[in-house]
Amino acid sequence: LRGKYIEAIASAADEAALEEVRLAALGKKGEISLKMRELGQMSPEERQTTGAALNRLRDEIDASLRARKQGLADAALDARLKTEWLDVTLPGRPRRMGTIHPVSQVMAELTAIFADMGFAVAEGPQVESDWFNFDALNIPPEHPARQEHDTFFMARAEGDDRPPHVLRTHTSPVQIRAMQAQGAPIRVIAPGRVYRMDMDQTHTPMFHQVEGLAIDRDISMANLKWVLEEFCRAFFEVPSVELRFRASHFPFTEPSAEVDIRCSWEGGQLKIGEGDGWLEILGSGMVHPKVLAAGGVNPDEWQGFAFGMGIDRIAMLKYGIPDLRAFFESDLRWLRHYGFAA
Ligand code: PHE
């Protein structure tokens, strides 16, 4: 009996086979268990010797079962360790990282360029009172410029006696806020979001502008021209740029000029600084005396220039992007195509 089970245990190939051997020997109806039950019918002497022998046999088989079980587990572990190994010298798999949005990137770039020229950053609210957005900028209620701005008006509940508010249509109200807060002299830029009801290939209802404002005792259009040329050379990373100042009209500047940059389209490729094309990039002029006064700055003592530039527009030019709307669609394929996402 002993030899039979010891051998069966040794040759059990896995845990299931081992369990079968255990049941056959020590299970409720196992061979040894049954033999133990027969002890009751034996004479006392016989029972003592046979009982002791059966106990020893049971313990021995039990111990042997445990040992074999452990052996099988060790062997299984060994086999796993041989096949499931990890080469820690392999290079890691690259992870796709988030990236800075092109517009944010351009904002950071232009802020750094203007900072080098001594411009600090000023801010204002996107929900703006129509006094700051219009009146203070010499656009009174009946002025036609109000209609041209395609303004989003904030809804008003009945009995709301707060002054009317709009989504700011340009960053120019920050001129007033900055002058009120800091007085003159002042040199600030104000990058941020602006809103107009407009939507096509080159317009989105939300877009970005950067306002520039420099006020001192003898600032002139010549300073404006130099600052803008310096900015464009640095921003577009070209040795020289040519800007064209076209006489224009804004209620908040006098005189006013729209500024174009020389460029060319060759085979769908935009080149800044050369060619026979012109692209409008900003509006500008000398700050109107009424605007200085609204900002609490004495127009008899101070003068200066202001400009407003479309950030999305110059980002499109710098990266050769034809459709403005794509900027705000968060399409990863588009972002990757232009190198804005991994
Ligand atoms: N605010 C004007 C616009 O949005 C741009 C501008 C700013 C023009 C400052 C002159 C001076 O079109």
What would the pLDDT profile of 55-87 be if each residue is shown by its tens digit? Answer: 999 999 999 999 999 999 999 899 888 888 888
Nearest atom within ligand 1 for CA of residue 309: 5
The answer, yes or no, to whether residue 337 has pLDDT greater than 90, is: no
Alpha carbon of 26 to ligand 1 centroid (Å) = 96
Stretch among 18-22, 41-45, 319-323 having the lowest mean pLDDT: 319-323
Instruction: Tell which one of 132, 133, 151, 170 to mutate to probe ligand 1, the residue whose CB is within 8 A of the most ligand atoms.
Output: 170
| Smallest CA separation from ligand 1 atom 4, residue | 170
Alpha carbon of 147 to ligand 1 centroid (Å) = 15
pLDDT interval class at 166 (50, 70, 90): very high
Tell me if 15 is assigned to a ligand binding site: no
In the prediction, which pLDDT does 98 show?
79
pLDDT interval class at 191 (50, 70, 90): very high
In the prediction, which pLDDT does 132 show?
97
Task: Please report the ipTM that was assigned to this predicted complex.
Answer: 0.98
In the prediction, which pLDDT does 115 show?
98
Bridge-partner residues for 149, per DSSP? none
In the prediction, which pLDDT does 226 show?
97
In the prediction, which pLDDT does 279 show?
87
| Cα–Cα distance measured from residue 296 to residue 186, given in angstroms and rounded to the nearest whole number | 12
Percentage with pLDDT > 90 across the chain: 57
The answer to pTM > 0.90 is no
Contacts 24+ apart (CB under 8 A), 200-205: 201/322, 201/323, 201/324, 201/325, 202/313, 202/324, 203/324, 204/312, 204/324, 204/325, 204/327, 204/328, 205/152
In the prediction, which pLDDT does 40 show?
86
Alpha carbon of 274 to ligand 1 centroid (Å) = 26
Stretch among 30-44, 166-180, 317-331 having the lowest mean pLDDT: 317-331
Stretch among 30-44, 48-62, 321-335 having the lowest mean pLDDT: 321-335
Residues 288-316: what's their mean pLDDT? 96
Tokens of 206: 């939300």
Amino acid at 295: G
The distance of Cα 117 from the centroid of its chain, to the nearest Å, equals 29
The answer, yes or no, to whether residue 6 has pLDDT greater than 80, is: yes
Instruction: Tell which one of 137, 143, 151, 172 to mutate to probe ligand 1, the residue whose CB is within 8 A of the most ligand atoms.
Output: 172
Contact 306, 252 (CB under 8 A): yes
* Rg (the chain; Cα; Å): 42
The answer, yes or no, to whether residue 265 has pLDDT greater than 80, is: no
Residues 109-134: what's their mean pLDDT? 97
Q: How far apart are the first and last CA of the chain?
A: 72
In the prediction, which pLDDT does 224 show?
98
**2 against 226, higher pLDDT:** 226
The answer, yes or no, to whether residue 168 has pLDDT greater than 80, is: yes
**Cis previous bond, 44, omega within 30:** no
**Ligand 1: residues whose CB is within 6 Å?**
170, 172, 250, 253, 283-285, 306-308
Contact 252, 137 (CB under 8 A): yes
| Cα–Cα distance measured from residue 149 to residue 127, given in angstroms and rounded to the nearest whole number | 15
In the prediction, which pLDDT does 329 show?
85
Nearest atom within ligand 1 for CA of residue 256: 10
Tell me which DSSP letter residue 217 carries.
S
Stretch among 28-32, 267-271, 303-307 having the lowest mean pLDDT: 267-271
pLDDT interval class at 186 (50, 70, 90): very high
Q: E strands, the chain, where? A: 120-121, 127-129, 165-167, 186-195, 206-216, 243-250, 253-266, 269-272, 277-287, 303-310
The answer, yes or no, to whether residue 247 has pLDDT greater than 90, is: yes
Instruction: Tell which one of 134, 250, 286 to mutate to probe ligand 1, the residue whose CB is within 8 A of the most ligand atoms.
Output: 250
pLDDT in tens, 250-259: 999 999 999 9
Alpha carbon of 305 to ligand 1 centroid (Å) = 11
| Cα–Cα distance measured from residue 277 to residue 248, given in angstroms and rounded to the nearest whole number | 19
Tell me which DSSP letter residue 119 carries.
P
pLDDT interval class at 148 (50, 70, 90): confident
Average confidence score pLDDT of the chain: 91
Alpha carbon of 212 to ligand 1 centroid (Å) = 9
pLDDT interval class at 133 (50, 70, 90): very high
| Cα–Cα distance measured from residue 94 to residue 104, given in angstroms and rounded to the nearest whole number | 25
| Cα–Cα distance measured from residue 152 to residue 262, given in angstroms and rounded to the nearest whole number | 34
Nearest atom within ligand 1 for CA of residue 209: 4
